[in-house]
């Protein structure tokens, strides 16, 4: 059993089962624990767009250890200097946004892997039980315990998809609809047929490889049904902020309707 629950996530994918997560944007780690207790397979801890720093991310990662959920962390950029300390939190996955070229992807993979595969500096603490696991034992599968995922959210990355999928050490892709649409001159039009067609191509090609394919999106039952039908393996739906808002707004509207 790994402390980041990646074994559970991978086992479920291997059985052909869908893994479901949601985005974490608030700083309180109780949110992550709540999501895990609710039965979600993973959390998407967002350091790219939200006020989550390295200390806060650590709290979120630790909060789900006993829930079975795998903590994924989206870093602000695919920069090795940014990625290095996040790796020491021992999350289940690093998600790098805004890759556009094969070189971008290779840089991310290298940052996440120890030599000779990559350039990750050696300084594990939490990942080896704060010293409880001998270095040789830790190194036998350290690279496999943290998945490396890149977001396909630019048309240039789609155009380089075949080469990206061939990058050794890359574990998976995730489509980002909004930025992908923007890169196609279709900002805000995530349901445009051209965006849908490109996304379908990414899913189809990825499923022909050993990489996993996921999507991050708002909750839309009809859209989820469509993507699952194409072989999607994992999906991050909504996030703490919009789920909370929707529930609060709906509850208030119900009460106001009764009042009238």
What CATH number corresponds to the domain at position 202?
3.20.20.60
List, run by run, the mean pLDDT of 10-residue segments along the chain (260 residues).
93 98 98 98 98 98 98 98 98 98 99 97 94 92 97 98 98 96 96 96 98 94 91 97 96 92
254: helix, coil or strand? helix
Q: What is the pLDDT of residue 1?
A: 62
- Structural domain including 168 reads 6-259
Compute the half-sphere exposure of residue 24: CA atoms within 13 Å on the CB side of its CA: 34
CA dihedral for 6, 167, 57, 90, sign (positive or negative): positive
Q: Are strands 212-217 and 93-96 parallel, antiparallel or unpaired?
A: unpaired
Whether 49 is a known active-site residue: answer: yes
Query: Do 97 and 153 contact (CB within 8 A), yes or no?
Result: yes
CA dihedral for 38, 39, 40, 45, sign (positive or negative): positive
Number of domains making up the chain: 1
Q: What is the pLDDT of residue 121?
A: 96
Q: Which entry of 49, 60, 90, 226 is annotated as an active-site residue?
A: 49
What letter would DSSP give residue 198? H
- Is 1 a member of any domain? no
Q: What is the pLDDT of residue 220?
A: 87
* Structure-block tokens of residue 161: 């998809």
Q: What is the pLDDT of residue 219?
A: 87
Q: What is the pLDDT of residue 259?
A: 82
Residue indicated by tokens 């009238």: 260
Q: How far apart are alpha carbons 247 and 256 in whole angstroms?
A: 14
* Structure-block tokens of residue 120: 């990750």
């Amino acid at each position: 059993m790994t402390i980041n629950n990646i074994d559970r996530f991978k086992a479920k994918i291997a059985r052909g089962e869908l893994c479901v997560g949601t985005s974490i944007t608030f700083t309180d780690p109780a949110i992550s624990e709540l999501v895990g207790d609710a039965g979600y397979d993973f959390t998407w801890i967002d350091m790219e767009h939200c006020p989550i720093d390295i200390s806060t991310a650590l709290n979120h990662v630790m909060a789900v250890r006993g829930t079975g959920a795998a903590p994924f962390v989206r870093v602000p950029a695919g920069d090795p200097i940014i990625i290095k300390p996040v790796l020491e939190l021992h999350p289940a996955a690093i998600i790098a946004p805004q890759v556009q070229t094969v070189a971008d992807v290779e840089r991310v993979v290298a940052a996440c892997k120890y030599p000779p595969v990559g350039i990750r500096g050696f300084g594990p603490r939490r990942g080896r039980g704060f010293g409880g696991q001998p270095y040789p034992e830790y190194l036998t599968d350290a690279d496999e315990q943290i998945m490396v995922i890149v977001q396909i959210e630019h048309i240039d990355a789609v155009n380089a998809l075949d080469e990206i999928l061939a990058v050794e050490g890359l574990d998976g892709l995730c489509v980002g609809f909004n930025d992908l649409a923007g890169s196609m001159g279709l900002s805000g039009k995530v349901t445009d047929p051209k965006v849908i067609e490109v996304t379908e191509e990414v899913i189809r090609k990825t499923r022909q490889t050993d990489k996993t394919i996921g999507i991050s999106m708002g909750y839309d039952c009809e859209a989820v049904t469509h993507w699952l039908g194409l072989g999607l393996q994992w999906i991050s739906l909504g996030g703490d902020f919009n789920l909370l808002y929707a529930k609060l707004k709906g509850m208030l509207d119900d009460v106001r309707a009764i009042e009238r």
